[in-house]
Amino acid sequence: MAKVAAIIGGGVIGGGWAARFAIMGWDVRIFDPDPEAERKMSEVMANAERSLPMLYDVPLPARGKMTFHSSIAEAVEGASYVQESVPERLEIKHKTLAEIQKHLDPEAVIGSSTSGFKPSELQEGAKDPTQILVAHPFNPVYLVPLVELVPGDNHDPRAVDWARTVLTEIGMYPLVVSAEIDAHIADRFLEAVWREALWLVKDGIATTEEIDNAIRYGFGLRWAQMGLFETYRVAGGEAGMRHFMAQFGPALKWPWTKLMDVPEFTDELVDMIANQSDAQSGQHSIRELERLRDNNLVAIMRALKGQGAGAGLLIKDHDATLRGALEDSVPLVTMQRKVPVDWGDMNGHMNEGRYGQVFSDASEELMAHVGADQAYVDAGNSYFTVETSVKYLVETHIGEDITVETTVKLGEGKKLRLWHEMKRQSDGEILATCDQFLLHVSLETRRSCPPLAHVQEAVERLAKAHGSTEGNVQGSE
Amino acid sequence: MAKVAAIIGGGVIGGGWAARFAIMGWDVRIFDPDPEAERKMSEVMANAERSLPMLYDVPLPARGKMTFHSSIAEAVEGASYVQESVPERLEIKHKTLAEIQKHLDPEAVIGSSTSGFKPSELQEGAKDPTQILVAHPFNPVYLVPLVELVPGDNHDPRAVDWARTVLTEIGMYPLVVSAEIDAHIADRFLEAVWREALWLVKDGIATTEEIDNAIRYGFGLRWAQMGLFETYRVAGGEAGMRHFMAQFGPALKWPWTKLMDVPEFTDELVDMIANQSDAQSGQHSIRELERLRDNNLVAIMRALKGQGAGAGLLIKDHDATLRGALEDSVPLVTMQRKVPVDWGDMNGHMNEGRYGQVFSDASEELMAHVGADQAYVDAGNSYFTVETSVKYLVETHIGEDITVETTVKLGEGKKLRLWHEMKRQSDGEILATCDQFLLHVSLETRRSCPPLAHVQEAVERLAKAHGSTEGNVQGSE
């Protein structure tokens, strides 16, 4: 069917849907009676345009055409998929759905963004109830992949298939929820946590910030990758899920939350969960799951470190307390570190692309050492790298401890030439080398100029100590 | 005080503590009566040694000495901090704590890993109750930063300070919980979610795997960075936290979870939460918070993509469906992409180190194009990069759309020389160039050798079409 989606109801949710569809190459036809709709949606679209394509390492399809329409009838013309995101009042939903169905191609499907209504409620009195499904997304819709797809008892498998195909094609993960239930699945957890959180704040046990920190520095990091049950499967260790449940089971009777309507902890329930957990994760040993978990935790925390956020900011601050001044050796030891998992490929090798990172980080250490540190840059002065030549000598592996030794080959005026050797710590073997040429620039004029006196002196002192032999860099190999 | 920690009780938790202390430079003295303790702890230590240092970009302190002792008396000798992780039975805890206190320096502090007991319960009958605090960690202790530090009413501020100092020094985030409460804070949420999850499985609404997917493809990604309240603050939009609560408030009365003992939704509670949220996040506008959230989501999902896990695997799979065959143009367009946030520095520039990534990714595209794809590599053949020279011409920014054009300058026998130009899409300006020399190797012999015939032909065809001028690479600039 044609890649044409109708978005009925704008705002943050409708805007997120529109952005996802358009960025993934669908034409998007929008109806929203709010006179502010176009402005609001264009703001969401700008956020989405900036961030969604960053997730991808391939060119995306040509953007779909986005048009605004003055009626539902016009908006749904030619659409093969409609997403309804009007306010959460059943009479509004019914009226809107009826108007959509009056004009929509009978082969098309309607997804509703509702978090509160079950499909049977939405379908009441509909011309074709099987055309209406719940497709409940999560904010921001243009980035978070989960969408709960709830067809209800009265459904047409072809409609469910089409919805699943469309949602997958725009990069989402349609979780088909076969039973109708209030709040679907994810919002039940959010609601339980919300209720407990309200108690904690109300009772003065913790503030909103303390609660957020308890989540983002703790189990939030685990849940971003494995969720609840697989995390506990690992915690259970070799003894497995049944062992974990036996340990954790009694807590159901304890006042560990104020939410006390608990299911009975029977052998049958334990079996059910242990068997489902086996089906889900049984192909991995606990050792493998531990490895996956740790790799993901390292990668997530390093990702957050790059953004200076959450648990990554803690590590960044900790880095700063551990960072010592560079010792004035010849050559300078500008890096001593372990190759982290996020620098590797699936086969355990350090990616070719990360050698540039290593030598760039090494030269930043040298910069700080000669006084061209962040404050120097903030004051409008900097060294820019003009050219680097990297030689790849020996493969490097994830987890290897590496060292970079740096020699100043030339330090005259605005010119700086560095020679880096990256070595394996265990045996000193040279893994790669880098010849790096930098020019000092003024960040104001964006032109090259000599460094400030204290940096100039430090660079010249190093060049002399390192036996600078201008122009003869290759000689050091 | 001396950097000597005693670890009483091994296992997964005690082992995680021991590893963190030792890797951060503390001597660690261990007591555990389990004859398997040394083996179990060395397995945890191996996991920790592999992963914890990967979080850091600086050299870590020299490893502490790790010793095993046959009695508590011997283990706590000279320790300034003791971490108790014995089984969760109060009489065992009391006996252990009494023995520790008998031999421990009165200035030292004892943290208990208990999740179930309040400090007042642990302190009952103690020689010096103020020496005993709850210090509740989260698995894996060597990676997850959160530790709940609960001193109880009967505490000595100096002991709390020392515990906080020690825990921060080993890279953790001590969340001081001032009120005693069952299960402290984080486990209350875990327990609420666990109870709801048991209902969903028991009632046949969702399997363990579906629940895990609902978490890790949805709100888990949000919670890893912002937690609960800040996430909702953003969802509330410009209208703020009060608006969000007004919308979400009525759900407290709805059957959105089976956990129904809910706090009363009063204006007072709304004010309390809105005010705390202002104190926590009020320094950022909603636009700024949206930007932070989106950057973190992109970085986390890309980190998971690198590991082929969780939401990142979804995107990787989606990449594959979007990836088209390279068109046979001259030059080849080997990359069209947006510079993602995880390639940038805090000032919005693309890191120098990531240029290597760009050109390495571009040459991988070319490899696939000539038939040297993953299957070719799996069969034991590959091109290895021997040398790259990158020229940095113009600064590149996060979010810019870039293209790489690649020319085959030489394709003879085992030799391959590529010339890449990275351009800004909007105006075609050349941002950087790369001269890359590769050799074909046999992965079996690890020596250079000619490529297989079909690859050789494809490479020669390209070299001819691209007007290969052997040895004169610079001429193309």
* ipTM confidence score: 0.89
- CA terminus-to-terminus distance, chain B: 62
As a whole-number percent, the residues of chain A with pLDDT over 90 amount to 70
- Top residue of A51, A258, A314 to mutate, by most chain B CBs within 10 Å, is A51
Residues of A in contact with B358 (CB under 8 A): 353
Query: B306 near B312, Cβ under 8 Å?
Result: yes
Query: A204 near B186, Cβ under 8 Å?
Result: no
Could you give the maximum distance between any two Cα atoms of chain B, in Å? 88
- The yes-or-no answer to whether B4-176 and B324-476 have a common fold is no
Of B116, B296, B322, the CB nearest to A60: B322
The sheet carrying A109-112 orders its strands as A66-69, A27-31, A4-8, A81-84, A109-112, A132-137, A146-150, A173-176
- Please state which of the ranges A440-444, B270-274, B290-294 shows the lowest mean pLDDT: B270-274
- The per-residue pLDDT for A474 is 43
The contacts of residue B463 (CB under 8 Å, 6+ apart) are B408, B409, B410, B411, B412
Of A140, A351, A399, the CB nearest to B294: A140
In this structure, what token pair is assigned to residue A477? 């190999």
CB distance from B368 to chain A under 8 Å? no
pLDDT tens per residue across span B373-399: 989 999 999 999 999 999 999 999 999
- The per-residue pLDDT for B274 is 78
User: What's chain A's average pLDDT?
Assistant: 90
State the DSSP string of A319-335. HHHHPPPPP--SSEEEE
The neighbour count for residue A21, using CB atoms within 10 Å, is 26
Buried b (16+ CB within 10 A) or exposed e, A453-474: eebbebbbebbeebebeeeebe
How big is chain A by its Cα radius of gyration, in Å?
29
pLDDT higher than 90, residue B212:
yes
Query: A182 near B256, Cβ under 8 Å?
Result: yes
Helix axes A267-281, A229-236, angle to 10 degrees: 100
How big is chain B by its Cα radius of gyration, in Å?
29
CB distance from B82 to chain A under 8 Å? no
Asked if A248's CB is within 8 angstroms of B295's CB, the reply is no
CATH of B324-476, one of 2.60.40.10, 3.60.15.30, 3.10.129.10, 3.50.50.60: 3.10.129.10
| Cα(A184)–Cα(A134) distance, integer angstroms | 9
Which bin fits A322, alpha (ψ -120 to 50), beta or left (φ > 0)?
alpha
- Top residue of A23, A63, A189 to mutate, by most chain B CBs within 10 Å, is A189
| Cα(A132)–Cα(B417) distance, integer angstroms | 57
pLDDT higher than 70, residue B259:
no
Of A55, A255, A321, the CB nearest to B302: A55
The mean per-residue pLDDT over the stretch A198-206 comes to 88
Q: Compute the nearest-CA separation of B145 from chain A (Å).
A: 6
pLDDT higher than 50, residue B475:
no
Q: Which residues of chain B from 310 to 339 reach within 8 Å of chain A, CB to CB?
A: 310-311, 314-315, 318-319, 321-324, 336-339
β strands within A295-400, DSSP E? 332-338, 381-392
| Cα(B11)–Cα(B43) distance, integer angstroms | 10
**Residue B334: exposed, middle, or buried by beta-carbon count in 10 A (0-12, 13-18, 19+)?**
buried
CB distance from A294 to chain B under 8 Å? yes
Most confident of A26-30, A58-62, A235-239, B295-299: A26-30
Q: Which residues of chain B from 438 to 477 reach within 8 Å of chain A, CB to CB?
A: none
- The per-residue pLDDT for A253 is 66
Structure-derived torsion over alpha carbons of residues A72, A77, A79, A85, reported in degrees to the nearest 10 = 0
pLDDT higher than 50, residue B477:
no
* CATH topology for the A4-176 domain: Rossmann fold (3.40.50)
The mean per-residue pLDDT over the stretch B406-422 comes to 96
CB distance from B278 to chain A under 8 Å? no
pLDDT higher than 60, residue B140:
yes
As a whole-number percent, the residues of chain B with pLDDT over 70 amount to 94
pLDDT higher than 90, residue A213:
yes
The mean per-residue pLDDT over the stretch A94-105 comes to 98
pLDDT tens per residue across span A319-345: 888 888 888 889 999 999 999 999 987
Query: A433 near A404, Cβ under 8 Å?
Result: no
Nearest residue of chain B to residue A247 (CA atoms) = B88
CB distance from B62 to chain A under 8 Å? no
pLDDT tens per residue across span A121-165: 999 999 999 999 999 999 999 999 999 999 999 999 999 999 999
User: What's chain B's average pLDDT?
Assistant: 90
User: Which pLDDT band holds residue B472 (cuts at 50, 70, 90)?
Assistant: very low
- The per-residue pLDDT for B237 is 75
The model's pTM is 0.90
pLDDT tens per residue across span B234-252: 887 777 777 777 777 676 6
| Cα(B439)–Cα(B430) distance, integer angstroms | 27
Nearest residue of chain A to residue B56 (CA atoms) = A319
Of B225, B237, B259, the CB nearest to A192: B259
- Please state which of the ranges A75-84, A100-109, A246-255, B81-90 shows the lowest mean pLDDT: A246-255
Instruction: Name the more confident of A50 and B287.
Output: A50
The contacts of residue A219 (CB under 8 Å, 6+ apart) are A231, B138, B186, B189, B190, B223
pLDDT higher than 90, residue A241:
no
3-state DSSP call for residue A63? coil
Which DSSP symbol is given to A65? Answer: P
- The per-residue pLDDT for A289 is 86
CB distance from B437 to chain A under 8 Å? no
pLDDT tens per residue across span B302-317: 999 999 999 899 999 9
User: Which pLDDT band holds residue A471 (cuts at 50, 70, 90)?
Assistant: very low
Pairing of strands B146-150, B132-137: antiparallel
- The per-residue pLDDT for B96 is 98
- The per-residue pLDDT for A283 is 85
User: Which pLDDT band holds residue B473 (cuts at 50, 70, 90)?
Assistant: very low
- Please state which of the ranges A101-105, B251-255, B448-452 shows the lowest mean pLDDT: B251-255
Q: Which residues of chain A from 198 to 257 reach within 8 Å of chain B, CB to CB?
A: 198-230, 234-235, 237, 248, 251-252, 254-257
- The per-residue pLDDT for A263 is 64
| Cα(B73)–Cα(B379) distance, integer angstroms | 59
The contacts of residue B329 (CB under 8 Å, 6+ apart) are none
The contacts of residue A401 (CB under 8 Å, 6+ apart) are A336, A337, A338, A339, A424, A425, A426
Nearest residue of chain A to residue B141 (CA atoms) = A218
Q: Compute the nearest-CA separation of B298 from chain A (Å).
A: 6
Nearest residue of chain B to residue A307 (CA atoms) = B296
| Cα(A236)–Cα(B457) distance, integer angstroms | 55
Domain range annotation of chain A: 4-176, 188-291, 324-476
Chain A to chain B Cβ contacts (< 8 Å): 545
The mean per-residue pLDDT over the stretch B270-294 comes to 82
| Cα(A218)–Cα(B296) distance, integer angstroms | 16
Long-range contacts made by residues A161-165, C-beta under 8 angstroms, separation at least 24?
A162/A1, A162/A80, A162/A81, A162/A109, A163/A81, A163/A109, A163/A111, A163/A133, A163/A135
CB distance from A352 to chain B under 8 Å? yes
Residues of A in contact with B234 (CB under 8 A): 139
Residues of A in contact with B273 (CB under 8 A): 198, 201, 208
Residues of A in contact with B369 (CB under 8 A): none
Asked if B223's CB is within 8 angstroms of A215's CB, the reply is yes
CA B36 vs. chain centroid, Å, equals 30
- The per-residue pLDDT for B474 is 43
